Amino acid sequence: MAQSILIVDATLFVNNEQIVYNPNSMTYKEGAGEQSLKPQSIGGGAVLNLFSNNLETNFGMVKFDMAPTVDNITLARKWKKNGNLNVVQFFTDNADGSVKKTFTGAALIEDYEVAFGQDATISIVFHSNPAK
């Protein structure tokens, strides 16, 4: 089996502006949603499983933390005011290949929380259309 290289960081953009974020804080969900199985009896102890998609869960998500600076607080406020007009993109490359994702219709659904201090962060959570 060939060795793989861990992805340890990505270049992140919000509305075409490169974002500086805390290492090891970025995560995402593509927005494929959740699926479920519902067994149906067909007699004789046998079942037929019905597969379904929960369309209510078909949304993308990008999370990351930023340092509590005046510039980052200003960015968070701007993103919140944009509603769902934000576009979040990231890419990363290594010897194994690349990962590139774009999340349109991105919005800060919850209010962001700002903490002050040496180790404090601003946690940003965008919800969006499924990733492209």
The string of pLDDT tens digits covering residues 2-15 is 678 888 889 999 99
Q: Delimit the domains of the chain by residue range.
A: 11-128
Beta partners for residue 26, in sequence order: none
Which pTM does this prediction carry?
0.85
Q: Which of 104, 116, 99 is nearest to 14 (CA)?
A: 104
Per-residue pLDDT of 50-96, as tens digits, reads 989 888 889 999 999 999 999 999 999 999 999 999 999 999 988 88
